Structures are given as structure tokens and as C-alpha cells.
Structure 1
Amino acid sequence: MLVKIYGSAVFGVEATTITVEVNIDKGIGYHLVGLPDNAVKESSYRISAALNNNKYKLPGKKITINMAPADLRKEGSAYDLPLAIGILAASNQIKSEKVSEYLIMGELSLDGSLQPIKGALPIAIKAREEGFKGFILPKQNAKEAAIVNDLNVFGIENITEAINFFDNKSDLKPTVIDTRAEFYKSLDNPEFDFCDVKGQESVKRSMEIAAAGGHNIILIGPPGSGKTMLSKRLPSILPPMTLQEALETTKIHSVVGKVKDTGLMNHRPFRSPHHTISDVALVGGGQYPQPGEISLSHNGVLFLDELPEFKRTVLEVMRQPLEDREVTISRARFTVTYPSSFMLVASMNPSPSGYFNDPDAPVTSSPAEMQRYLSKISGPLLDRIDIHIEVNPVPFEKLSEKTEAEPSKNIRERVTKAREIQTKRFSELKNTHYNAQMSVKQIKKFCELNEDSKTLLKNAMERLNLSARAYDRILKVSRTIADLEGVNEISTNHIAEAIQYRSLDREGWLG
């Protein structure tokens, strides 16, 4: 008897429906075809034990299973449940009338219970697109898949529940989630808040500007000055994610199995990889491509602590994704594209010892050592970082103050207003949404300067020996400062403040 069951495979962040054809005939043997990987091939052992432990059996006949399309690689253990249900239906151990109406995925334990799967959200989206009656999957993934409206999502704990459902012995209750309520829940209670930070007003101001314009930022300062503490709080002042952004972000995290019971992600991601990370782990890839850290930080923040300690090759592969806001991974048989629109926040010590021109420092470095240390970061990468800010240690008087600093909520309100101005400004442009994304042509159009501002910028560039690449960055940042003030014209005050945020462009910065 031939039975068709439907599962799904995830490539990139999109799912493809897989038809599992199970045929039972005279003879003996178990044949699984359709380009399965080792995890899929091993499913026969898990299925046999799970069925035996639940008073069912693997029929002693010739079982042929084809996973179509047969030229598409099938990987992972999530096909256990559809294969098992297909075998039971084809051998008449359960009724087969409605098995083809549902999309089924799940990994079986030997006792028949189900383990969570990866990619439940993109699979659920595909199931709705293709008109399936419902999606049957492990209970741990039910919240994640239930984000998708107009689809019945049935979370089950073991194979017996699925068998009883298809045999009409019991009903399954769909998991229902109010997507909007889930999204707005705990939006105003960030784990890390700027009210915890004492002092550092100038750095907070620079981070507010970075958040308002989507600018990449680098913090330079000695150990213990608060670089990591400040960086962790940046997501709390970014504008709240739209529902569309939340779905995009959740989909990427779903592919790598990082969502499970949490449902829809409502906070912007903050990723902080260790400096020993490989280039493949950062941008994504592998034999069967998976999203890397830059894609996991999509719509959020990627924090690289101690930037010069990262391998040069790792930093160089970020240049294209920073520019294009997506990363494309090509293999011989297919190509996948992952979105990677993130804010880069980097931190570094100004020298190998960690102390910069400090006569009281326990260890100092020579100018040559400092130059060698800084040269680990290439010019083209620095070119994509708009704001450079020096972070100084906080004095005791500030640390011991009892007054609470401004909370993230207040800063975020100002940032959101500035972003709304930019959304209106770039409404007719397809690939530009905030100031940091402006091209040279758009800078000329939206960053016009009056004569006083031009004179100030000219004098600053000559006196401070600012590089040519600093020119566009200063204009972009000054445009954001003007947006924060709610004014249309860029004034000398805005230019003067923006010039302060180009520390690494100054010749002689090393003293």
C-alpha cells in the first residue's frame, strides 16, 4: 500500500515542502531514498524502538520510502515522526484518510516522546501558504509555530497522541497565541537599562546619536571604563521592532533552534561573539549552510569586544554584509541568502597594555606598539564605522552619586522621533531607511550646509588632519544630530559635535 505524508526542509530562512512516499510490498527490507543524510538514515532505529515501546511494530515486509524532491538534500532528525506515521498508515495499523492533510515534523525518542525541532516558524509559514489543515509538531515548538495566523498548530508530547488523532480516538487542541499581545508584552522592561550607568554623559550622547541614525560605533578606552556595560544597553534605546521585523528576526533564530518556547521575539537581538570566532561562524556557512552571528543580530546589535583581537580574516568578511545588509552563501548545488541588517558596536583598548598616554598607568606601550596594535583594524572596515568615541574611567564622585541616571525609556522616545523623521524623508527610497544608509548622492541632497557650516568643516578637516573618508561620515552624523533636535537645517553646532566623533581619523591621535 502507498501512503503520502508531508514534511518540510529549511534552506536559508525559507522552507520547502517534502513529500514522504511510503510503500509497503511483499518481501523484506527497509529502503530509504531521496538524498537523506546520516541522521535521517538512522531514523529506522529510533522509529522501530518507539513503535515497539508503544505497542506497535515495524512491519516485517519490504518498506520503500522516497523523500521527494529526490535531488534535494534532507538533513536532521525532524523527519522521524512523518516517517513513523507513514509506515503505520501504509501497513494499516492506523487510518490513513487524513494523514496527507497535515504537515508533520518531529524527532522521536526511543520511548516515543518528541524532541524539539529547528525551523518551526518558516515551516509553519510554508504550511499556511500551501493550504494544509494544520501543522503537527513537538509541543516545545508549538508557541513558535503558532505565531502564524490562520493555521492550526497542534503541539504533541509523544507519538501516541498523533496515532490517536489519526485513528479518531481523540482530538488535538490547537495552540492559540495572540501575536500582537505577545509582541507588546514586556516591551518597556529591558533587562539592561541606561539608568544603571553612572557618569559617561558624552558616551551616552554618542550612543543616542548612533541609535537614532543607525550608525556603527566604536568605543575606545582603558579596561574597566564601562565599554561593555554601555554596549549591552544600546538595544534598550533602539526603536521598538515592528511586527514585521519581529517575524523576520524570529524566523532566523528559529532556523538555528534558538526560539522554542519563547514564541515571538519582541526585543532586538544582542549578539556578542568571542574574539576566537571563525569567519564561517560569524557570517554563516558550513557544509549545510546555517546563519552566522551577523544574521542572528539582524534588526539588532552585533557587539565585537576587543576588536583588534579578532582575526583579520574574520573582520574582513564583514565588509560586504555591512554594506549590502545581507550575506549570500554559495555552494555547488544551491545558494542561500540571509538578511544581516545590524548595528555594529565595537570596543577596544587604545593600546596592547590597555592604557593610553596615562603617566600613572601600571603598564604603558610605546607609540610603535600602539600603532601596530591599531593597524590590525583595516581602513575599509573603519570606513564603515561612523562614530569613534573615547571612553574615560568614571571618577569615584560619579560612582558614589545616589541620583539615578536617565532611563532608557526616555532616550528611546527621542530616538524613535528621530527615526520617524528619517522614515518620512526616505519613504520613496527602496534601500534607505535611516541616515547611516545614505549614499553619496543622497548625502548631497539631504545634508546641505550653509556657508558658516562649510567653513567650520573645512577648517576642522585641515587643522585636525581628518581623512577624506571622514567627510561623508561627519555629514551623516550631523544630519542625525539635527533630526534629534527636530530641525531641518544642519547648523554649525551639529557639525562641531559630529567632528568630535572621528577620533581614529586624526593624524597624531597616538600622541
Structure 2
Amino acid sequence: MAVARTRSVALMGVTGRTVEVEADVGNGLAGIHLIGLPDTALSEARDRVRSAMVNSNYPWPDARIIVSLFPASLPKRGSQFDLAIAVAILGAAGVVPAERVVEPFFLGELGLDGRIRPVRGVLPSVLGAAKHGDVTVVVPSANSAEAVLVPDVKVVPVAHLRQLVEWLRKGDDPPEPEIEECAEPPKSSTAPDVDLADVVGQPVARRALEVCAAGGHNLWMLGPPGTGKTMLAERLPTLLPDLELDHALEVTAIHSVAGVLPPNAPMMSRPPFINPHHTATSAAIIGGGSTIVRPGAVSLAHRGVLFMDEAPEFPRHVLDALRQPLEAGRVTVSRSAGSVTFPARFMLVLAANPCPCAQTEDQGEMCRCTPTVRRRYLGRLSGPLLDRIDMKVPVARSSRRELLADRQFVETSKTVAERVLVARERAAKRLAGTQWRSNAEIPSSVLHADYRPPAEAMRPLTSCLDSGSLTARGLDRVVRVACAVAWQT
């Protein structure tokens, strides 16, 4: 009886859990048995592994093979275990030295011809393996640029099973990953070829965009179509500074798990911009899945912007599902197989027309909607959701004269982004020693304990709170926005 042991990684959301893969080749009826809570894709690994080994000219053991995935109580999903299973069987069969496969981690899906195909979630998987210290991780060549982003990890890129077996047999130095693109990772473009200078005639909205970028605040724009609401939202990411290294790794890990990481950008250094359609389901916005839980739009927009155009057209239960992520900065998706938590700290931008017909009376057009229809339309945005919006800006249509006059006051995104960066640096200096980077992240208790404005400045706000025209959460929002404005001056 021969037993070989190696390691792989199972993903629980964006967290990697070490999985020990054991292969036992012994006497008994020939066949392979996979145990350890595998899903359908993993159960099919037995056929992929067998074909890959045979087509790579390695003998398939004519014996009883048992492959165990430990811990047995942890559900395993996906095809990233193929390579580890194949290596464990090769070690148990004596094709490769068993002692050579104990320490490394193996990630990759096998093709029937022995090619090693790329898989999702390599970055969070390597981050999970890196918790064990100085480790070696074998990954598909197509995923090497993503894997080398993790420091203090030896990455071994392989393209074919034969290449891996020869390296394990000979013990030579592993092939070096191609890191040309990773030395200076290209910046992922959130909205190419857009600039704030393109928006003319909306000076108040442009100023609101700058304040939101400086403090990380949520924004609601209300106005008829054609006034530039979508243009303003698309240009908000251009005002935000580059992601810090730890934030960039978080964002890249989420997009890697979702399988939407740009192939030419292993590291996402720019804040993402996510713009879902109003027909999107709750699972598409929050996250979900029947077997493998995938991150939704709120997580894909982590450290960036989530823009919901025509917000009243979204189902109300989808809009109300945003309330918990906006407060907590994370979202927990519960399914029968367990619960998965994804980070979801984003800036929410809502855009809405004043009524379904979207006609305005100030330009000589006659609105056909009754007051009841208007209230019902905007009533789809619930009060608790709007209470979590920091700034509400009306966006009206501009006349030709206003458009011509405003052209001399427009500024480029680069100019505004410099002021936003200064404001963020001031906020970071004031919040030094804490885990928060902007005033939008400060908890309410700490906001009123350590960063509360003077009593004289708070007097108008407390009067509104006493009269009921302002809620306690609304009071927090006003204070945060005021801090963002103050840090810009």
C-alpha cells in the first residue's frame, strides 16, 4: 500500500482554506473513489485526471485508488483541485517522489490532453497558502501574473502535466514566472476616455461629485433625462485616487473569484465602476449562487462606485437589500451549504427621473403624471435607503446661455482629482492610528466622541433633530459631509 499527500486551497468567498489531498493506491477492485464533500465539478475530476495522465504517457494504476480531501467537513467546489489530485496519485504510484509533493500547493484544472488550464480565484488562493509562511505554489502559466502579486511566495508556473512531472522528478530549479507585466501592473481603466470637463452646465452637481469623492459619500441625483446624470456618475471614478496596495489586493481578489479580472491587468489599481441594469436580480446585486457563491455587484464595486441608473426601475426588494451593505461595508450570503461573507464598501450613486414620463414643465413641456403617480414612482426608493444617502442633488436642464457661460468654469478630472487627493491625505492624517481611511468609514459612536464639531456648529443640526426633520442617521451624514468640505479647504 502506498500513500502520498499534497496540498491545495478551497475558496470560501474570498478566503482561502488549506485542503490536504491524500491518495491511497492499494489492493482491491480497480477504480477511483473521491471522498471529502466534493461537488459535481470536483467529482468529475476522476475522469479528467485519468485522461490527462494517460495522454501524458504516465501509467494509470490498475488498483483501487482512494482520494481524500481533508478537512472532510469542508465543502469543496470547482476544478482547481485537479492538479493536486493528479500529483497525489502520481506520488502514490511512485511516478514522482512522494516527499517532493508534500509541501507545495497545487492549483489548476487539467485538460484531457494534460494541459493545465487557468482557474478562478488564484490570487485569494495564493493569499490563503501564504499564511503558512515561505511556501511554493504551483499554478497554471496563464495565472502566473496574478499569483506573483503575493509577496514572499515562490510561484511555479506550469503549462502541461509532463512539465510538472519532469520538474518533480529531477528536482531542478522551477521555471520562472513571467513577471514583465507584474513589475508595473497596468492600471485597470474604469471608464476610458472620459473627463469631468465633458460635463457643462451643472456646476452644483460637479461640486457635489468632488465632495463625494473627497469623503467617500453616497449621492442621489434627481432630474429629467438629458441633464448629465449618467455622465457625472461615469466620471466619478476619475476623481478618486489610486487604490492603496492592500485595497488593490482586496479588489483584485474579488474580481478574480468572480472570473472578471481583466487578462491584461493582474492588479486592479484603479477603483472599479459597476453599472448594473435595472433588470438585475437580487442575487446579481448582492451575490449568490446555487452551488458556488459568487460575489455580486456590491462586492465587485468594493472600494469603488456602484451606479444605479433609473433607480426607481429596480425592484424595491433589490434596492432595500443595499441597506445592510451600506452600513456594514460587507455582505453575507447564506445558502444551505453555509454562509459566505464578501467585502462591500462602495460609494452608491443613484440617478432618477422625477416621474415616469420624465417631462419637465420648466422647458415648456407638460408632465402627464398625476401627483399620485409621481409619489408612487419615487416611493420605490424607500425612506431608510434614502436616509443612507449623504448628498441629494437636483439636476435641472440648462439653457443654451447657461451652457455657454459655464464652459469657462469647467475643470478637468486631473485638476479636481488633485484637490480630492489633498483632502484624502488630510483625512488620513487626522485618522492616523485608526483602521479608517475616510470620514465615511468612521463609526457613529467614534464620530460623535472624537470628531464631533463644536456645539455652536451643531446647534442648527440638533434643532432639526428635535423637530423631527432630521433623523439620527441623517445627522451623522450631515456631519460627515461637513467634514469632507472642511478638509478640502
TM-score, L = length of structure 2: 0.89
Question: Counterparts of 2:94 and 2:450 in 1: how far apart (Å)?
Answer: 71
Unaligned runs of 5+ in 1: 486-511
Task: State the partner residue of 2:139.
Answer: 137
Question: Counterparts of 2:288 and 2:178 in 1: how far apart (Å)?
Answer: 35
Letter in 1 for 2:163: E
1:314 aligns with 2:315: no
Note the C-alpha offset of 1:329: 3.1
Note the C-alpha offset of 1:196: 2.8
Question: Counterparts of 2:240 and 2:109 in 1: how far apart (Å)?
Answer: 38
Question: Counterparts of 1:438 and 1:308 in 2: how far apart (Å)?
Answer: 29
Q: Are residues 410 and 443 of structure 1, via their aligned partners in 2, closer, same or farther at CA, if it must alter by over 3 Å?
A: farther
Question: Counterparts of 2:446 and 2:278 in 1: how far apart (Å)?
Answer: 36
Question: Counterparts of 1:341 and 1:456 in 2: how far apart (Å)?
Answer: 27
Question: Counterparts of 1:123 and 1:144 in 2: how far apart (Å)?
Answer: 11
Q: Deviations 1:149-191 (Å, cap 9, x if unpaired)? A: 1111122222121122112286532326489953686899964
Q: Are residues 260 and 55 of structure 1, via their aligned partners in 2, closer, same or farther at CA, if it must alter by over 3 Å?
A: farther
Letter in 2 for 1:310: F
After the TM superposition, which of the residue ranges 302-311 and 284-293 deviates more from structure 2? 284-293
For residue 407 of structure 1, the aligned residue among 386, 392, 412 is 412
Give SS of 1:55's match: coil
Note the C-alpha offset of 1:406: 1.8
Conservation of the 8 A alpha-carbon contact between 2:145 and 2:182: no
1:419 aligns with 2:424: yes
Q: Deviations 1:209-243 (Å, cap 9, x if unpaired)? A: 11111110011122222211211111111122111
Q: Deviations 1:335-354 (Å, cap 9, x if unpaired)? A: 33221111111111111012
For residue 474 of structure 1, the aligned residue among 457, 463, 478 is 478
Letter in 2 for 1:393: R
Give SS of 2:221's match: strand
Give SS of 1:97's match: helix
Task: State the partner residue of 2:286.
Answer: 283
Note the C-alpha offset of 1:246: 0.8
Write out aligned runs for 1:353-502 (5 A): 353-358=357-362, 360-361=364-365, 364-396=368-400, 398=403, 405-427=410-432, 430=435, 433-435=438-440, 437=442, 439=444, 442-443=447-448, 446=451, 448=453, 467-468=470-471, 470-485=474-489
Conservation of the 8 A alpha-carbon contact between 2:201 and 2:406: no
Note the C-alpha offset of 1:282: 1.6
Note the C-alpha offset of 1:436: 6.5
Note the C-alpha offset of 1:98: 1.1
Conservation of the 8 A alpha-carbon contact between 2:188 and 2:268: no
Conservation of the 8 A alpha-carbon contact between 1:116 and 1:260: no
1:348 aligns with 2:352: yes
Note the C-alpha offset of 1:132: 5.6
Letter in 1 for 2:365: A
Task: State the partner residue of 1:495.
Answer: none
Give SS of 1:323's match: helix
Letter in 2 for 1:87: I
Q: Are residues 475 and 19 of structure 1, via their aligned partners in 2, closer, same or farther at CA, if it must alter by over 3 Å?
A: closer
Cα-Cα RMSD: 3.2
Note the C-alpha offset of 1:404: 9.7
Note the C-alpha offset of 1:422: 2.1
Note the C-alpha offset of 1:108: 1.3
Work out the number of aligned pairs and report it.
483
Question: Counterparts of 2:366 and 2:59 in 1: how far apart (Å)?
Answer: 73
Question: Counterparts of 1:122 and 1:472 in 2: how far apart (Å)?
Answer: 35
Q: Are residues 21 and 242 of structure 1, via their aligned partners in 2, closer, same or farther at CA, if it must alter by over 3 Å?
A: same
Give SS of 2:33's match: strand
Question: Counterparts of 2:16 and 2:41 in 1: how far apart (Å)?
Answer: 19
Conservation of the 8 A alpha-carbon contact between 2:186 and 2:267: no
Percent of aligned positions with the same letter in both sequences?
38
Write out aligned runs for 1:171-182 (5 A): 171-175=173-177, 177=179, 182=184
Q: Are residues 186 and 336 of structure 1, via their aligned partners in 2, closer, same or farther at CA, if it must alter by over 3 Å?
A: closer
